[in-house]
Structure 1
Amino acid sequence: MTNSYPLPDGAPVRWAELRWEDIAALPPAGIDMAILPVGATEQHGPHLPVGVDTLSAVAVAEGASTLTGIPVLPALSYGCSLGHSTQWAGTLSLRPETLSRMVLEIAEWVHAAGFRRLLLLNGHVTNWAPLRCALENIRHDIPTMRISLRSLWDISTEVRRQYHQDAENFHANCAETSLMLALHPELVRMDKAVDEPDRSAGCFFSYRVDQECLHGVVGQPSRASATEGRELLERCVRSLAAQLEKALHETTPLEMWHDALI
């Protein structure tokens, strides 16, 4: 089973498949960035596998790597999934402080290998806060590393629209199910797909998933299709790759301001 997005332009650069000499040669060649996919292992309703968030993040990361040559680090498949509770079997969660610390320590080693730019590519909604804390710590502890955090659904306005089309607080919804139909149809049980509304809309407080839905689903997975999944994946990959091409050469805001004055 492969997690890569099959673009015709080449193959993704997977950190784990490179020799140390290959890795050391990348920064001098102008590739001083790495991508860290951060997913989760958690229930995704009765129709999807628990690895949805990791599989999605890796697919987009590897698609962008195929187009840019930027290496993809081994994915973190454990995320902050405390909000899913123990209502449904399969969820494996880290505490937010654990996830944040893990990312900081990985960044230290990536930096030591000569890389000065790191993208945290997030595939799970409630990873965002721990990853933002990791970003703050990395900026402080490793001042020569440029660090960015992107979630799949925020790669572009069009991608965000597609992710949220059936639920603001989406989970195992049309978009995620469509992605899995495009990537791993053998893991999807559409005969078990159950639609549930976004019952948290308008709530003041934040609730666990087991307090919001009956089946671990928020949205309309019954509307999913492999065609929509391929379109969403293409948008994610192409948009992210274009952003990364620019990011490889980005300077600080003050440097850009100074250059504009010259």
Structure 2
Amino acid sequence: MRLADQTWTDVRDATVDVAVVPVGSTEQHGPHAPLGTDTLTAVSVAETAASAYAAEPRDGVADDVTRGEAVVTPPVPIGVAEEHRAFDGTMWVSPDTFRAYVREAAASLTAHGIDRVVFANGHGGNVEALAEVARRYSRDDDHDGYAVAFTWFEAVGEHASDMGHAGPLETALLRATNPDLVREDRIADASDGAADRWGEWVSGVNLTHDSEEFTDNGVVGDPAAGDEVLGAELLDRASDALAELLRAVVDRDVRA
């Protein structure tokens, strides 16, 4: 259920258990993938998971008692992405601005009785900030809301180690969900100019701050290795994991 597609009376009359807030970024993804990749992938996983959310009954509850809706809010399309500032089209906000905006947007839902929130994230630069948002949101004395943060590429099993940036995983998921946006004629160039890993590491410390320091074209990993078949598998794994998380968030007793 997409929140933006509903009328206010639709939402009033629905039984909404949880809101899924897709969070992405507008940043470079090499010469072959769109600036909105992180937002597009987050929305795809969020909407697939929301559709699957009600498929399983609650544990210990009669089979004829069904779940309500998982509503997907409009995405947050600009995140913590200054590390890509050297590449044209990239947009970013400070972590403070990002945290405040996301937290307040989620808190507005509690006025309508939607007090469980899962942030469905598609951008690595948002991970730390979203974790803090979820903690502060859950501890806020002004409402009874509870939130957690989920990042789709951390929930794809053994594939997670291949994440990179604009590499095989993101390219594969785009090929499965938004194939028209992948510039297939630029894949070879994207692969040829890609870095092998994110950053330059010494003693467990990344010496770099910006992506231009280690990748000339913005790509980390080989996008040619990410085909549509892999993308479909990634979507299944990530959305199944998110649907399971939604059920756990709704069923969790967080009362003091």
TM-score in same-fold range (> 0.5): yes
Seen in structure 2, the aligned counterparts of structure 1 residues 97 and 199 have a Cα distance that, compared at 3 Å, is closer
Partner of 1:37: 22
* Contact preservation (8 Å) 1:116, 1:146: yes
Q: Where does residue 103 of structure 1 map in the other structure?
A: 102
Matching residue of 2:58: none
**Counterpart in 1 of 2:37?**
52
Q: Which residue of 2 aligns with 1:163?
A: 160
CA distance in 2, matches of 1:202, 1:161: 22
Cα distance in structure 2, aligned partners of 1:218 and 1:84: 13
Counterparts in 2 of 1:163 and 1:189: CA distance versus 1, 3 Å: farther
**Structure 1 letter corresponding to 2:159:** Q
1:23 equivalent in structure 2: 11
Q: Post-superposition shift, 1:97?
A: 0.9
Is the CA contact (8 Å cut-off) linking 1:24 and 1:114 kept in structure 2? no
Aligned partners of 2:134, 2:252: CA distance in 1, in Å? 18
Question: Does the 8 Å contact 2:110/2:143 carry over to 1?
Answer: no
- The offset of 1:25, in angstroms, is 3.0
Q: Match of 1:176, as an amino acid?
A: E
- Displacement after TM superposition at 1:190 (Å): 2.7
2:183 matches 1:181: no
Question: How many angstroms apart in 2 are the aligned matches of 1:213 and 1:160?
Answer: 26
With normalisation by structure 2, the TM-score equals: 0.85
Say if 2:113 is the partner of 1:119: no
Q: How far apart are the structure 1 equivalents of 2:212 and 2:128?
A: 21
Aligned residue for 1:32, secondary structure, equals strand
Over the aligned positions, Cα root-mean-square deviation in angstroms equals 1.8
Aligned length: 232
Number of the residue aligned with 2:131: 132
Of structures 1 and 2, the one with the larger relative CO (CA 8 A, separation 6+) is: 2
The CA distance in 1 between the partners of 2:230 and 2:154, in whole Å, is 17
Q: Deviations over 1:112-131 (max 9, x none)?
A: 11111000111100111222
Q: Is the 8 A contact 1:190 1:222 kept in 2?
A: no
Q: Which moved more, 1:198-207 or 1:103-112?
A: 198-207
Residue 118 of structure 1 aligns to a residue whose secondary structure is: strand
Q: The residue matched to 2:91 in structure 1 has which SS? A: coil
Residue in structure 2 matched with residue 224 of structure 1 by the alignment: 226
- The structure-2 alpha-carbon separation of the partners of 1:148 and 1:15, relative to structure 1 and needing over 3 Å to count, comes to same
CA distance in 1 between partners of 2:119 and 2:79 (Å): 13
Identity rate of aligned residues, in percent?
A: 31
